[in-house]
Homo-oligomer: A and B are copies of this chain.
Amino acid sequence: MGAKEIQIKLDFRSGLPIYVQIMDQIRQMVGSGELEQGDQLPTVRQLATDLRINWNTVARAYKLLDEAGLISTQQGRGTYIWESPPEAATLILRHEALEGLTRRYLAEVIRLGCSPEEVTVALEQQLDLWKAGDPPDETDQN
């Protein structure tokens, strides 16, 4: 019914487990406000067919997020974003989302064959631009 349509992108070659990729991206959506408390997530079967994976893999991601307190999975009812206790929890959540993004970024970069030093240089370059007040390009070139 009112399940929010969310967009999750999987990278089967990143080396990151699928369920971790799902967890990371849901955390990110909550952290950025794209998902709010009370929003219903797609059912495990729906999201699974969308992503062409087994729904048990989605179920695992949901279950772990549930145990982490981010969402509420209810057998027979569905899965919902859990009410977010203010401040402290959102800080933690944002931090987790940042970790997830970083993890994915590094996985992609490693696959590219870059060295840690190259990554450090590339990032500091653009970080400097950012600090100087020039926000990075927002265009998603996937």
Does A2 belong to the interface (CB within 8 Å)?
no
Does A49 belong to the interface (CB within 8 Å)?
no
Copies of this chain, complex-wide, total 2
Q: Determine whether the beta carbon of A99 is less than 8 Å from that of B113.
A: no
Q: Determine whether the beta carbon of B100 is less than 8 Å from that of A141.
A: yes
A interface: dominant SS:
helix
A38–B68 alpha-carbon span in the complex (Å): 36
Partner of A122, one of B64, B102, B112, B114: B102
| Chain B residues in 8 Å Cβ range of A101 | 105, 108-109, 112
| Chain B residues in 8 Å Cβ range of A108 | 28, 101
Q: Determine whether the beta carbon of B109 is less than 8 Å from that of A98.
A: yes
Q: Determine whether the beta carbon of B127 is less than 8 Å from that of A98.
A: no
| Chain B residues in 8 Å Cβ range of A95 | 118, 122
Q: Determine whether the beta carbon of A127 is less than 8 Å from that of B136.
A: no
Q: A83-131: which have CB < 8 Å to B?
A: 94-95, 97-114, 116, 118-120, 122-123, 126-127, 130-131
Does A40 belong to the interface (CB within 8 Å)?
no
Chain B: CB-nearest residue to A34: B111
Q: Determine whether the beta carbon of B28 is less than 8 Å from that of A112.
A: yes
5 closest A-B pairs by beta carbon, nearest first, are: A105-B105, A106-B136, A103-B136, A102-B122, A32-B111
